[in-house]
Amino acid sequence: MGAGDDCNHAGNMELIKFALALLFVIIEFQQDAMTFSSLRPPNSHLLRDDFVTEAVQSNRQANSVVALFKAGDENISPVRKRSESKHLTGAPPTGVSCTSIADSLALNVREIQEIQMQKKQRIMISSFLALHHEIKELKRQRQNIPAVVSTANEIWDVAVQYFRLVRQNFHPNSRQFQVVRAMMAPDVVYNCEYGFEAIVQSWCFMQWFGNVEVELENLKMCAGNEMIAITRTKVTITERTLANVFPHLLNSKLSNGTTFSSLANKLLGQRLTMRGSTCFRWDGKKNLVVSLITQSDMLRPLVELLESLDDVSRVFEQAAISPSFQWRLTL
């Protein structure tokens, strides 16, 4: 028996105790009333000597008055007489049956118990339906778990293998290069281009920077068979960088004849740290990566370095790379 049943049982016992106590009080009250009536009639105050004498005298006078009203009483309709007679003779009961009170209380107790039982039944039915729905949902989720886990494991392995190749500077003759290539679809989307060759070409451009480091900070599985890799890329701007990525800073001139050499000197030798991300999209039917989107924020470190939006604008104006660290040219 649960805690709720104990509370209901205790409440019913208290109600029965209260009914029995009330019944005993009514019985004692009726016994006291009967004792008082037997010892002293309720109209004892009418039996005094002076009152009896006055009553005899007034009775003689009343006889003449009654005679006058008898004639008028004959004119009253039978319906009215029955109504008045019924009204005058109908007296309320002088007592209440103890048995009827007990029966009424017992009936109330049964009604309360039935209401509580119906409430429990409704709660049990509602709980059963909710549990049934939860079981169906858990079964559905259990059926989908193997596919989700398999996809997550495969795309996770692709991301790990890809960044392992990045640490090896995308060496085309390495075994790792062939492993990553086999994981990519032939028409894999890379930023705005297609094919695994676009990925290789982008990494070749990266070699124009000095001491390139790409650190994998976090991997997060997203909806739609996608995984986001949070990265931190560090590069150093060298003379080779200025000549191939920012050539306009070396040979462009303003109308007054001044060059951007001072701006190039500010960049030369600086090491930039860029926060970025790489998004892998996996095709479960092909079991291949069909999309690879990379970007890094090159704008923020240049703004912090040059402290001038105009100078930053000149840096990217004719550069071979965008502020999101994506290449604008092809080999």
pLDDT above 80 for 71: no
pLDDT above 50 for 109: yes
Confidence at 176, pLDDT banded by 50, 70, 90: confident
Contacts of 186 (CB under 8 A, 6+ apart): 195, 196
Question: Is 312 domain-assigned?
Answer: yes
pLDDT at res. 251: 63
113-130 pLDDT per residue, tens: 889 999 999 999 989 889
The residue with greater pLDDT, 195 or 62, is 195
pLDDT at res. 140: 75
Confidence at 273, pLDDT banded by 50, 70, 90: very high
Question: Is 250 domain-assigned?
Answer: yes
What are phi and psi for residue 291, nearest 5 degrees?
Answer: -155, 140
pLDDT at res. 270: 96
Question: Is 62 domain-assigned?
Answer: no
Report field, pTM of the whole predicted structure over 0.85: no
Confidence at 156, pLDDT banded by 50, 70, 90: confident
Per-residue tokens: 295 = 């970007």
- Give me the CATH number covering residue 197: 3.10.450.50
pLDDT above 90 for 171: no
pLDDT at res. 155: 84
Where do we find the tokens 């970025």? 276
Question: Is 219 domain-assigned?
Answer: yes
The residue with greater pLDDT, 262 or 69, is 262
Per-residue tokens: 123 = 């709660």
Question: Is 81 domain-assigned?
Answer: no
Q: Whose CA is closest to 17, among 92, 134, 109?
A: 109
The length of the chain in residues reads: 331
290-326 pLDDT per residue, tens: 999 999 999 999 999 999 999 999 999 889 999 999 9
35-69 pLDDT per residue, tens: 544 445 555 554 455 544 554 454 454 454 444 44
Question: Is 80 domain-assigned?
Answer: no
pLDDT at res. 167: 84
Confidence at 331, pLDDT banded by 50, 70, 90: very low
Question: Is 252 domain-assigned?
Answer: yes
Report the number of distinct structural domains present in the chain: 1
pLDDT at res. 300: 96
What's the mean pLDDT in 165-188?
A: 87
276 has which bridge partners? 231, 296
pLDDT above 50 for 226: yes
229-238 pLDDT per residue, tens: 999 999 999 9
Tell me which residue range forms the domain holding 252: 154-323
Q: What is the dihedral of CA 202, 207, 210, 212, to 10 degrees?
A: 50
pLDDT at res. 186: 92
Confidence at 107, pLDDT banded by 50, 70, 90: confident
What's the mean pLDDT in 136-161?
A: 70
pLDDT at res. 39: 46
Question: Is 1 domain-assigned?
Answer: no
